[in-house]
A = this chain, B = another copy of it.
Amino acid sequence: FLGQSFESSAFFYNSGFLQKNNNLEEKISSLKEKPSKDLLDNSDRDSRFRRTETDFSNLYARDLLPAKNGEEPTMQFLLEVVDILTNYVRKTFDRSTKVLDFHHPHQLLEGMEGFNLELSDQPESLEQILVDCRDTLKYGVRTGHPRFFNQLSTGLDIIGLAGEWLTSTANTNMFTYEIAPVFVLMEQLTLRKMREIIGWPNGEGDGIFSPGGAISNMYSVMIARYKFFPEVKAKGMTAAPRLVLFTSEHSHYSIKKASAALGFGTENLILLSTDERGRVIPADLEAKVIDAKARGCVPMFVNATAGSTVYGAFDPIHEIADICEKYNMWLHVDGAWGGGLLMSRKHRHKLSGVERANSVTWNPHKMMGVPLQCSAILVRERGVLSGCNSMCAGYLFQPDKQYDVSYDTGDKAIQCGRHVDIFKFWLMWKAKGTVGFEQHIDKCLDLSHYLYTKIKDRQGYQMVFEGEPQHTNVCFWYLPPGIRGMPDGQEKRERLHKVAPRIKAMMMESGTTMVGYQPQGDKVNFFRMVISNPAATRSDIDFLTDEIERLGRDL
């Protein structure tokens, strides 16, 4: 089955994606000098700052650059901060370090020894600022720790981290080529590459990086509305008939937030039934489309989820696309979580049909391990994204600049200023190559397969849905010995419902590991294990189950 999809992976074989780039590489290396060690050994090396013992207790922010003679204290201060950060990084990967040092809100608010969150009128010394930095990390959560499994975004990629440090040092804004020339081009090239990987011919289309998957999904609804009812931009929703949207009952809540925000109303978002595995039932979509039309509504937009938040389910895109074509609806694929699988020849078949989507959300900050935030909305048709959002502000997007202003892409956004989210991702892609992302994804899915195989028939565990998970989400109940023998019924349900929260609370208090839980529909609280952390190994999976059993034994 996997072998077949491997061969039928049109993108990798027909579009010659891998080959093409190798050729490009050759062409480029013939054109450019190979970077040599000399490039690093340039004049900057002479001026390297050495850390010296500095007394920060009499230094203040006002003594740093741009202050006169501010260079030396600035360098020493930054190097001291880096020392704190690199120590934090080292310890994050050390399994003897706790994932977190939990405190209740009132404890942190009352102030810990030497650490006080209140703001004041007068400046603190740089020594106190360094203590504050250290304590902020101390009382936080190590999301890069090999045993942190709590969210879809985990891990601490070193290249990505370097990329973020550089991004914040450059401190610029994505609205125009004028002030972000390199970043704007990186964004365009990377978006094109992502569209190629989706399978759109020649990577044509449009897109933009947004501040997260929820905003990317919001874009998709806005763009769909503009495509079908462009008059809404000027005249508002009253210019359109009663529009309805469709999404799975298992889909992310951002679709609902978008329906409310954009003026559709949550009642006009119709939830689709799913099978036992959390995948949309296409026949239910068609039935609800027909029903909506019969009620005088206009079905406009369907969201298919590629990798649902809780179950990791992939909706059947081809069958949904058929219905969208038949009824002339926009097909959006929310691949915030599952989009990363497109990088894997082994797993991309799970998004089969994604090339038929009109728009795709894909968050590299989830399955691809890119630091937060990094989310893209990709659109198949060119022009509709800018048509939808552009307002042509004269103070920013002057037409009479000396360069090609088609690179001033900011007017496509609903934002004005826009954070540079591209550089870390671009740098990671350079450093890992496409194959590096593929290896990362395959490894995470292997690990979740290991967990699934381990617990599916293990005493005390019960799977939330049958069969091998499609993504790295493994959803299960742990039944403490005292509950196992109970007859099925309300009392057992009530007791089981309290197990995951109690184990989670003890995990957090002891700081050993973190994993999420939630109820879903009529199912009581269960654990949702997700793996996106490149630092995790089988031993960490074993640690997690041991810990659940240790903490849950007597519940």
Contact = CB atoms under 8 A, between A and B. Distances in A.
Contacts of A159: 61, 64, 129
A382 interface: no
Contacts of A119: 21, 189-190, 193, 426, 429-430, 434
A283 interface: no
A555 interface: no
B83 A414 contact: no
Contacts of A509: 402
Nearest to A159: B61
A213 interface: yes
A120 B171 contact: no
Interface stretch (A272-280, A316-324, A388-396, A484-492): A388-396
Given A158-B65, A389-B257, A120 B172 contact: no
Contacts of A133: 162, 166, 427
A525 to B, nearest CB: 7
Q: How many copies does the complex hold?
A: 2
A380 interface: no
Interface string A253-275: 11011011111111110000000
Interface residues of A, number: 201
B417 A257 contact: no
Contacts of A427: 129, 132-133
- For chain A, what secondary structure do more than half of its interface residues adopt (helix, strand, loop), or is it mixed? helix
Given A166-B133, A393-B253, A65 B89 contact: yes
Interface in A120-151: 120-124, 126-134, 136-137, 139-141, 143-144, 146, 150-151
Given A25-B121, A85-B165, A129-B159, 9 more contacts: A71-B90, A75-B86, A75-B90, A78-B162, A211-B215, A212-B417, A235-B268, A261-B389, A400-B498
A389 B262 CA distance: 12
Closest 4 CB pairs of A and B: A263-B263, A236-B265, A164-B168, A402-B505
Nearest to A39: B131
Interface stretch (A48-56, A284-292, A452-460, A461-469): A48-56
